[in-house]
Structure 1
């Protein structure tokens, strides 16, 4: 199984980026690879309409370490663990998302990587142009 670390540097304070990225209601604004519409809460789980169908998402509790890890239960029942870190960087903030190939073909892995790159670029654009909501 291969892993890829996709990252983006954002000209914004780490606390602001973390607060925005860790807020589930913001997912449709920047994470189209995961959330295409409003997030529905069910206890500590989130129901999200994604490109893969309806998925259930569970985030780690908010923390002071910049960890925004989350589990995604896919429509078929498999659960994928997604490490996501918000780190201080000399130019503001670096956001790092780890993608694991798991059972994906090489083409699917490349497509998944491209979706994450696009999502992180959207997060950068939002944070640098309009700031957090």
Structure 2
């Protein structure tokens, strides 16, 4: 059964500067190290689009332009041709930086949504462990 259109905000505090967290996360070469849900091997850069082998098959990823605001929003085009927008942001936090990822249920079943949320939790925890 498909759930409704729910959003969930997943965040992780990282004991590092927001600038260093953003610089690491925005670098395509680093994606396979922390974003297992998105990239399982080296990412190919084609212009402003990244091509990655994901658990779902080949996906393309387009991040917003690099910016001073810590915004890492990105569109992921799935093998089906469907594009999913993923809002993501690095913010200053009293203990360093906070990474906030918004996941939307859209066409996912409740079980698929929970699985995807867990994948994001794991990816953000990996990012934290790499940067602290």
Tell me which interval the TM-score lies in, with the shorter structure as reference length. over 0.9
SS, match of residue 6 in structure 1: strand
- Of 24, 35, 41, the match for 1:20: 24
Q: Which runs of 5+ in 2 are unaligned?
A: none
* Per-residue deviation, 1:24: 1.2
Look up the match of 2:64.
60
- Does 2:98 align with 1:98? no
Measure the CA separation in 1 of the matches of 2:18 and 2:63: 18
What's the CA shift string for 1:65-100, capped at 9, x where partnerless? 000010000000000000000000000000000000
- Superposed CA RMSD in Å reads 0.4
Give the 3-state SS of the residue equivalent to 1:63 in structure 2: coil
Partner of residue 37 from structure 1, selected from 10, 18, 41: 41
The CA deviation at 1:43 is: 1.2
- Do structure 1's residue 113 and structure 2's residue 117 form an aligned pair? yes
What's the TM-score, normalizing by structure 2? 0.96
Among candidates 10, 13, 16, match of residue 14 of structure 2: 10
1:123 is matched with: 127
SS state at 1:47 partner:
strand
SS state of the match for residue 66, structure 2?
A: coil
* SS of equivalent residue, structure 1 residue 80: strand
1:77 to 75, 78, 81: 81
Extract structure 1 runs of 4+ deviating beyond 2 A: none
TM-score, normalized by length of structure 1?
0.95
- For residues 24 and 113 of structure 1, the distance between their equivalents in structure 2, rounded to whole angstroms, comes to 22
SS class of match (1:20): helix
